[in-house]
């Protein structure tokens, strides 16, 4: 059952907006009432829901701002206005309102005002604003990881509710489409509202409400292919709308540009003391000479590759989110204290003594020096490279929260799977590829082999390449080491080896007959290995809890 939210002007609820869509006469700019043949009456628009996801970004559903089929688009248009933390019975807007200057729809096609379940999976729109409403309200972060299900919140402004309504829901994914289904439908009017959750790392959006019925709601998932890249590009592209507040927006469109606070050659304006946004392509670096001057300046790369920053000074933020290639960043100065990596995987060396780095969806490699460095690797298999031997660091890895963290010698790292010291490498993702690797090693060869860095490295390489647990198990069984330990690949020999590795003693005759019987009846040896690897006894034998607290060495 959905409950009304009364503390609407506090975070995170103040980031959830009432979206008003009104029909306007293009000639006069006035609101008009028009006959809606679907509704069978005069209407002046509709309302929906949305969520703030950036400084001047609101995420909602595409069908919310898509013009109805019956609208004479040569004469009429729509005005989109959002009211954060609003109440609609009676209507009040304690945090004011913001009018969208424009919006972008993802690929969604509707017919006669309806939307199919298949179309719902791409039902996204980004509203663009000329005011940094997120600076006042805060915003929710985007979670584009694919999830099978879990607990979350569905929040919005259904027409049947007295105001902002929230349902604590259990969601599950649709095996056919990139959708999350919930069993607590909010109802019409809540379209565009977020499916979201909070943890120690922040508040995250999983998707937006697209469609539903009396028994279930369908949320378009941010895990749909291409959606998060599209969103990141659109969010980066609309930053020019708040240039009057944050300083000049400068687009470098020719090489040999020379940009300082006093002059700009081949650029649209000089830098200011307010903080500027400079957009350029990697091809124009390093021949571009750029001095950001006072303020917090942003360098945005519109395409990537080899990014040479040797002639960049007094620029504090490097934004690679708009790039669509793997990037290698060189000659980064200590002026850069905030870095956003791109979606395809980047290699970068951070020179600043105090910096924050946010990874992208790809596999990032981040080298750091000494100082106070905060890194969020985000998605992918990410590596942090530290300059000193392992013994020079105090290492703490915990499972609650954050799930993968290293803190010591002024480094705080989250969502990073590998750490490379000057003398060795550690895998930290014991709830992912590293965990699957050591469990298979322990069950197949024995717990003593978990300490073999070469074995661990081979397993990680297989998982990082995209192999499944079953496929890696088959590789393990086919290895010469396993066959030497087992003596042969007969069912009896395999069962004896797995049982001895997991339990610590050879199986009794009855146990041997039981497991051999499973194999004789059709279970594959790889399937049995996976079962043994995931057993509690195996986790205890390899000390999985201890490994999760220290990482596991690999080469």
Are residues 86 and 215 both part of a single domain? yes
Q: Is 500 helix (H, G, I), strand (E, B) or coil?
A: helix
Beta-ladder partners of 358: 340, 376
- Residue pair 271/297 in contact by the 8 Å Cβ criterion: yes
Residue 414 confidence (pLDDT): 87
Are residues 143 and 192 both part of a single domain? yes
Are residues 15 and 53 both part of a single domain? yes
- Candidates 542, 510, 515; CA nearest to 528 is 515
Are residues 413 and 456 both part of a single domain? no
Residue 311 confidence (pLDDT): 77
Residues 479-503 pLDDT 10s: 999 999 999 999 999 999 999 999 9
Matching residue, tokens 């509710």: 161
Residue 213 confidence (pLDDT): 85
Are residues 141 and 49 both part of a single domain? yes
Are residues 104 and 38 both part of a single domain? yes
Are residues 274 and 417 both part of a single domain? yes
- Residue pair 516/491 in contact by the 8 Å Cβ criterion: yes
Domain boundary among 427, 453, 474: 427
Total domains in the chain come to 3
Asked if the model's pLDDT at residue 96 lies above 50, the reply is: yes
Are residues 477 and 399 both part of a single domain? no
Residues 503-532 pLDDT 10s: 999 999 999 999 999 999 999 999 999 999
Asked if the model's pLDDT at residue 468 lies above 70, the reply is: yes
Q: Is 474 helix (H, G, I), strand (E, B) or coil?
A: helix
Q: What contacts 8, CB < 8 A, 6 or more positions away?
A: 14, 16, 85, 86, 87, 94, 163, 164
Are residues 11 and 78 both part of a single domain? yes
Percent of the chain with pLDDT strictly greater than 70: 89
| Strand ranges inside 176-223, DSSP E | 179-182, 194-199, 202-212, 217-221
Annotate 133-152 with b (16+ C-beta within 10 A) or e (fewer). Answer: bbeebbbbebbbeebeeeeb
Residue 55 confidence (pLDDT): 85
Are residues 373 and 288 both part of a single domain? yes
| Strand ranges inside 399-442, DSSP E | 405-408, 411-414, 418-420, 425-427
Phi (first) and psi of residue 100, to 5 degrees: -70, 135
Q: What contacts 416, CB < 8 A, 6 or more positions away?
A: 359, 366, 375, 377, 382, 383, 384, 404, 406, 428
- Residue pair 356/374 in contact by the 8 Å Cβ criterion: yes
Asked if the model's pLDDT at residue 262 lies above 50, the reply is: no
d(CA 359, CA 465): 20
- Residue pair 357/376 in contact by the 8 Å Cβ criterion: yes
The tally of CA atoms less than 13 A away on the side-chain side of residue 497 is 25
Residues 421-453 pLDDT 10s: 999 999 999 999 999 999 999 999 999 999 999
d(CA 352, CA 32): 56
Residue 310 confidence (pLDDT): 81
Residues 120-169 pLDDT 10s: 899 999 999 988 888 788 899 999 999 999 999 999 999 877 889 999 99
Are residues 257 and 400 both part of a single domain? yes
Are residues 293 and 411 both part of a single domain? yes
- Provide the mean pLDDT of the chain: 86
Beta-ladder partners of 355: 373
Residue 249 confidence (pLDDT): 47
pLDDT tier for residue 401 given thresholds of 50, 70 and 90 = very low
- Candidates 363, 554, 362; CA nearest to 459 is 554
CATH code of the domain covering residue 153? 2.40.10.10
- Candidates 352, 349, 331, 333; CA nearest to 341 is 349
What range does the domain containing 331 cover?
242-427
Domain boundary among 371, 403, 427: 427
Domain boundary among 241, 266, 285: 241
Residues 31-64 pLDDT 10s: 888 888 878 888 888 899 999 998 899 999 999 9
Long-range pairs for 94-100: beta carbons < 8 A, 24 or more residues apart? 94/8, 94/9, 95/9, 95/14, 95/136, 95/137, 98/129, 98/131, 98/133, 99/129, 100/58, 100/127, 100/128, 100/129
- pTM for the whole thing? 0.52
Which position has the higher pLDDT, 330 or 397?
A: 330
The H-or-E segment that residue 77 falls in is strand 76-84
pLDDT tier for residue 349 given thresholds of 50, 70 and 90 = very high
The H-or-E segment that residue 550 falls in is helix 544-550
Residue 412 confidence (pLDDT): 82
């Amino acid at each position: 059952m959905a409950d009304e939210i009364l503390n609407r002007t506090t975070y995170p609820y103040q980031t959830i907006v009432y979206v008003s869509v009104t029909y306007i006469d293009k000639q006069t700019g006035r609101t008009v009432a028009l006959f809606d043949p679907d509704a069978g009456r005069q209407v002046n628009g509709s309302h929906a829901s949305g969520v703030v996801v950036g400084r001047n970004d609101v995420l909602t559903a595409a069908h919310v701002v898509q013009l109805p089929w019956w609208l004479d688009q040569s004469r009429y248009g729509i005005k989109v206005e959002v009211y954060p933390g609003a109440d609609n019975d009676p209507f009040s807007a304690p945090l004011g309102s913001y009018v969208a200057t424009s919006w972008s729809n993802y690929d969604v096609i509707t017919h006669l005002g309806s939307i199919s379940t298949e179309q719902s999976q791409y039902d996204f729109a980004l509203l663009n604003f000329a005011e940094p409403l997120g600076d006042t309200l805060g915003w929710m972060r985007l979670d584009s990881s694919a999830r099978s299900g879990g607990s979350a919140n569905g929040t919005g402004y259904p027409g049947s509710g007295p105001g902002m309504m929230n349902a604590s829901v259990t969601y599950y994914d649709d095996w056919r489409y990139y959708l999350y289904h919930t069993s607590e439908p909010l109802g019409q009017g809540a379209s565009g509202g977020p499916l979201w959750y909070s943890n120690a790392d922040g508040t995250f959006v999983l998707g937006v409400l697209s469609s539903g019925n009396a028994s279930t709601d369908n949320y378009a998932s941010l895990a749909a292919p291409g959606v998060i890249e599209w969103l990141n590009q659109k969010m980066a592209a609309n930053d020019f709308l708040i240039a009057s507040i944050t300083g000049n927006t400068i687009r470098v469109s020719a090489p040999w540009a020379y940009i300082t606070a006093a002059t700009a050659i081949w650029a649209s304006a000089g830098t200011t003391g307010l903080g500027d946004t400079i957009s350029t392509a990697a091809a124009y670096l390093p021949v571009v000479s750029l001095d950001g001057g006072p303020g917090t300046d942003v360098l945005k790369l519109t395409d990537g590759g080899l990014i040479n920053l040797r002639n960049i000074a007094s620029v504090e933020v490097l934004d690679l989110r708009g790039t669509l290639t793997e990037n290698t960043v060189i000659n980064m100065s200590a002026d850069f204290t905030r870095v956003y990596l791109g979606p395809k995987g980047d290699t970068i060396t951070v020179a600043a003594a105090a910096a924050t780095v946010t990874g992208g969806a790809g596999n990032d490699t981040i080298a750091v020096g000494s100082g106070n460095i905060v890194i969020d690797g985000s998605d992918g298999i990410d590596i942090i490279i530290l300059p000193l031997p392992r013994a020079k660091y105090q290492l703490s890895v915990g499972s609650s929260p954050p799930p993968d963290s290293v803190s010591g010698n002024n480094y705080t790292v989250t969502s990073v799977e590998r750490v490379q010291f000057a003398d060795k490498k550690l895998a930290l993702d014991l709830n992912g590829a590293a965990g699957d690797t050591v469990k298979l090693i322990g069950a197949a060869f024995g717990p003593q082999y978990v300490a073999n860095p070469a074995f661990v490295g081979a397993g990680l390489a297989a998982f990082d390449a995209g192999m499944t647990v079953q496929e890696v198990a088959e590789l393990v069984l086919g290895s010469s080491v396993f066959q030497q330990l087992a003596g042969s690949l007969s069912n009896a020999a395999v069962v004896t080896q797995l049982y001895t590795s997991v339990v610590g003693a050879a199986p009794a005759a009855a146990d041997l007959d039981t497991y051999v019987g499973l194999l004789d009846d059709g279970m594959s040896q790889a399937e049995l290995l996976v079962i043994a690897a995931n057993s509690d006894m195996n986790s205890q034998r390899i000390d999985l809890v201890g490994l999760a607290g220290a990482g596991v060495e690999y080469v």
